[in-house]
Amino acid sequence: MVTCKDFLRELNDFLDETADPALRAELERHITECPNCWVICDTTRKTIKVYKGMEPDPLPEQVHEKIMGALRKKRCCEDGEHE
Ligand SMILES: [Zn+2]
């Protein structure tokens, strides 16, 4: 069972397509069930495309803020610590 934490840790490999096929399948299943990770995955993929020059427009600052906010929120929830 892949958790959000696992997903975020493996996200780079997942997007690079270097992850183990079995793990990729697990990660793919996770994003079909977890809207948060889906958004992070989708946005990160677009960001990577921008960095590689595959898309002309840079990532809007707003979207970046949204991802960082989601990541912070996620980490806080998963560690079971509330500030
Ligand atoms: Zn998740």
Q: For 30-61, how does the pLDDT look when each residue is reduced to its tens digit (9 = 90+)?
A: 999 999 999 999 999 988 877 777 656 666 77
* Ligand 1 center to 14 CA (angstroms): 14
Cα–ligand 1 centroid distance for 13 (angstroms): 16
Which residue, chain included where needed, has tokens 């990541």? 71
Enter the pTM of the model.
0.59
- Using a CB cutoff of 5 Å, list residues around ligand 1, an ion: 4, 34, 37
The per-residue pLDDT for 21 is: 94
How far apart are the C-alpha atoms of 47 and 57, rounded to whole Å? 10
Could you give the CA distance from residue 17 to residue 66 in angstroms, rounded to a whole number? 25
CA of 48 to the centre of ligand 1 (A): 20
